[in-house]
Amino acid sequence: MWGFLKTDKLRKLYARHTGRDDMPDAVRKQLEVEEAYRSETLISNAVFVIFDTETTGLHLEGGDRLLSLAAVKMTGGRIYLGDAFNELIDPKRPIPTSSIFIHGITPDVASARPHVSGVLLKFLAYIGCDVLVAHHAPFDMKFLNHAMLGCFGFSIQNRLIDTALAAAWIWRMEKAELVDLHAPGDTRFDAVAAHFGITVLDRHTAFGDALSTALLFQRFINILNRNGIKTLKQLVRIAGVS
């Protein structure tokens, strides 16, 4: 019953926001996410979408927007590079020079790319009902959900795992082995990757960071399994984001 009520609410939010009742298939799939989720699914059997974003800046409230979105899928501990997602977005606003120095995306390149609504439709089709994973996930989701609300009237419904939270849990469990005493508990991506021996690829590109995060999550799955974290319910408990 509660699932039906939530689904009905999402339909109404979409209709109220867009003035339409005919949801695109990718958006309609979001109505199935809650019912499709099974908390007792083994981590080894679950499908994860590890994603990252680049933005025009760090301040959503100041007008910064999504600039690129990339993801890779993982199941059974295997990363599927042949089924990757990588899209640039026209942010419909200037890109500060300070940001260009970080991600390398220039206004002439971005202005030739699709509006965020089209990219979101592709991304929703790509993620389906799978579990999302990102490092410091609330930052990326803040920008994604702002775009979702603007385009479709509701936020992404998929379960969300934060590898920064997973790293913090592992550090607490195996501190002596895994923490560099010069930087204890540092959850910045570069620091976490260095601690766990992950080579960072194409830093500050959405695809490079998504792939590097997937390699980190791949490492975490093995460590978590050794420490008794075997189901999605257990994973969400230690690294889930509401």
Supply the Cα-derived Rg of the chain in whole angstroms: 18
Helix (H, G, I), strand (E, B) or coil at 84: strand
Convert the pLDDT of each residue in 122-178 to its tens digit. 999 999 999 999 999 999 999 999 999 999 999 999 999 999 999 999 988 876 454
Listed in sequence order, the residues at least 6 apart from 237 whose beta carbon sits closer than 8 Å to its beta carbon are none
Count of CB atoms situated within 10 Å of the CB of 23? 17
Across the 242 residues of the chain, what is the mean pLDDT of every consecutive 10-residue run?
A: 74 96 96 96 98 96 97 97 97 93 91 94 98 98 98 98 96 62 71 93 94 97 96 98 92
Count of CB atoms situated within 10 Å of the CB of 15? 14
Which residue is associated with the tokens 């590898």?
A: 163
What CATH architecture is 2-239? 2-Layer Sandwich (3.30)
User: What gap in Å lies between CA 46 and CA 236, rounded to an integer?
Assistant: 13
Listed by start position, the domains of the chain span 2-239
- Check residue 172 and give its pLDDT: 84
Count of CB atoms situated within 10 Å of the CB of 128? 15
